Amino acid sequence: MSIRECCLLVCLGATLATSAYAGVVVTAPSNGATVSTTVQYVATGSSPACPKGVAATGIYTAAGILAYVTQGPNLNTLLTLNPGTYQTVVQEWDNCGWSSTTPITITVGGSGGGGRTFANLHAQSGWTGYALLPPGYGICSSCVSTGPQTTWWWDPHVSSPSKSGNATKTNIGGQTVFSDVLWNNHLIGDFSSQGLPDTNHTLVPTLHNFTYDVWFYVGNIELSQALEFDINQFFGGKSFIWGHECRIAGGHEWDTWNNVTQHWVPSGVPCNPISNSWNHLILQAQRTSDNHLLFKSITLNGNTANINRYDSPTPTNWYGVTINYQIDGNRYQQPYEVILDNLNFTVQ
């Protein structure tokens, strides 16, 4: 039975037999949770009695309303819902005609003071690239993308490989070993690329929750020293930097940035992106009510690690919300490409 046939049967009210050995484990959101308008669903379907495995996993936000479906047993996605109470259902369909469900009731709150999603940022303007040279790794004001110290490019509108048909290809190379390339996009506040300068300084201080959601593709991940994805908030003279680094050459582990001591903190969480494949990354971060940083969770290819590390802000004169994306060169500065797609950033 195809995925489409399974979905149609359920929508039309047909009853599918349920294997006693099948099931859906939902790790987010929890049943009965109160959530923001952007809800992350993480689930895994299984059907040991079917040798052909799980065909698809999906989310119903109400009876007969299939809001999302993906092939295979692993589901990890964001849904944007209006405020209210939802009797959602996560369902798996296997390749033998069996199906099983797990009901998840959620209450969706308000948008949290300006909550919104900046969709497909990888395909938008506003990105500026910089070379970072050892040993200090400050921005190299004299470097240009053609080198020779470090080379880089940002090439949008790539149709293949692509999830959406409109991906962006990035590259690093050059002569200076262990040099990095940083791309930055100012979303809200100073130099906003989104038409949100927030000149009255009324929006940025209301934002507490941030979700960085991106797909990336690397041909040979072992050519990378590290991949970095950062969330930044600046207001009231305080700098909040939620830096996340997937260390490759240094041991395939996630690190988070210590704002005060300016160094990386090992998390103990493995980071193993798959070469020649699309990888899905979701970062959850929060500014607490007492103005501390909370590194909440990292989800890579359906595996969620709850970090729950607190940190303190540092002084700044900047104002706004920005995101960073960075790729690091290894000890040979071997050139490599990373392709980005479906980069969505949610603030609430």
Domain ranges of the chain: 3-108, 116-347
Specify the CATH architecture of the domain 116-347. Sandwich (2.60)
- Phi, psi (deg, nearest 5) at residue 205: -65, -15
Task: Looking at the chain, list the stretches that DSSP marks H as alpha helix, in order from N- to C-terminal side.
Answer: 3-11
Helix (H, G, I), strand (E, B) or coil at 1: coil
Report the alpha-carbon angle 107-112-115, nearest 5: 105
Q: Which CATH class is domain 3-108?
A: mainly beta
Closest CA relative to residue 88, chosen from 100, 104, 70: 104
Asked if 149 contacts 132 with a C-beta cutoff of 8 angstroms, the reply is no
Q: What letter does residue 146 receive in the DSSP assignment? A: B
- With a CB cutoff of 8 Å and minimum separation 6, the contacts of 100 are 18, 19, 22, 23, 24, 45, 47, 91, 92
Find tokens 């991906």 and name the residue: 167
**Cis? peptide before 266, omega within 30° of 0:** no
Torsion of CA 49, 50, 54, 59, to 10 degrees: -60
pLDDT by residue for the chain (348 residues), tens digit each?
Answer: 344 334 433 333 333 343 345 689 988 888 887 777 778 888 999 988 899 999 999 999 999 999 999 999 999 888 878 878 899 999 999 999 989 999 999 888 654 444 578 889 999 999 999 999 999 999 999 999 999 999 999 999 999 999 999 999 999 999 999 999 999 999 999 999 999 999 999 999 999 999 999 999 999 999 999 999 999 999 999 999 999 999 999 899 999 999 999 999 999 999 999 999 999 999 999 999 999 999 999 999 989 999 999 999 999 999 999 999 999 999 999 999 999 999 999 898
